[in-house]
Amino acid sequence: MKTVLITGTSSGFGKLLTEQLSAKSQYQIIATMRNTNSTNKTVRRELEKLQNVEVLELDVTSEKEVKAITELVLQKHQSIDILINNAGVFGGGLLEAHSIEQVQKLFDINVYAPLRLMKAILPSMRKRQDGLIINLSSMLGLFSIPLNAVYCASKFALEALVTGSYGELIQKGVENILVEPGSFPTELYKKTGTKADLQEVTDSYDGMAEQMTEYANNAVYGAVQKHKPDPNAVINKIIGLIEMEKGTRPVRNPIDQISGETFAQKVADDISELAQTQMKAYGF
């Protein structure tokens, strides 16, 4: 039985993945989330009823908690075979209207948290010469758009950490890869998120931010209503990657039912090809 640790399982992709993996007898799922005894108490109890699911309290921004939980799981189950870095937070607003502290908060969850988990688990994976890390990125880790520059920057950073380290880790038997969803109807967009917090700066743009936000929200809502993207497609993608033979998993795995799978895959392939061309030019 393989041990799978998933972050951010209180809602969205994390919760769906926990539910669907629990139906497969070959996995022991460690479902982590914050506030298991308060705001997430109901979902904790719901997940605990599932087969082979253990729910643990974890704030991914806490170095102390990440270290304690990974040590606990390793002691109890001997290994963490698969890490799913799913926890994340959305953001929005004018770049100038974000305080540096607000940018740091968003990066702490979207960039430093997955890195914390990687660093905590990698020594045991390298020792066994085996392991899989799947990081939930976004198509907005490949493009940056107005009012989302800070969020996109966090996903760009995650993409860089994963793609840059792939060649380091695969030599130690560990695959570190990405899944890059487009827009799907999950709770991510409904939550408050970590948004621009300098209201006086936003106000100084004379209503431009509000107009652009309303336009963008309507456009995305219209696209979602038209194409009806199914979040289960992302879950199927992740499970498919888990079940692939070691060494055959692509580093980038885009999935976008709005722009289209062919286009999304072309973006990923083109970026990879351009990166290889650049590396060759420098003699690598």
Q: Which of the residues are catalytic? A: 151
Q: Which amino acid is at 83?
A: L
User: Using CB atoms within 10 A of its CB, is residue 283 exposed (0-12), middle (13-18) or buried (19+)?
Assistant: exposed
How far apart, in Å, are the Cα atoms of 52 and each of 5, 243, 265? 12, 18, 34
User: Using CB atoms within 10 A of its CB, is residue 222 exposed (0-12), middle (13-18) or buried (19+)?
Assistant: exposed
Q: What angle do CA 180, 183, 187 make, to 5 degrees?
A: 105
Q: What tokens appear for 69 in the block?
A: 């939980």
Q: Which residues contact 236 (CB under 8 A, 6 or more apart)?
A: none
Q: Cα(205)–Cα(201) distance, rounded to whole angstroms?
A: 7
Q: Which amino acid is at 1?
A: M
From the list 155, 180, 154, 175, the residue with the least C-alpha distance to 165 is: 175
From the list 175, 213, 238, 211, the residue with the least C-alpha distance to 20 is: 238
Per DSSP, the three-state class of 211 is: helix
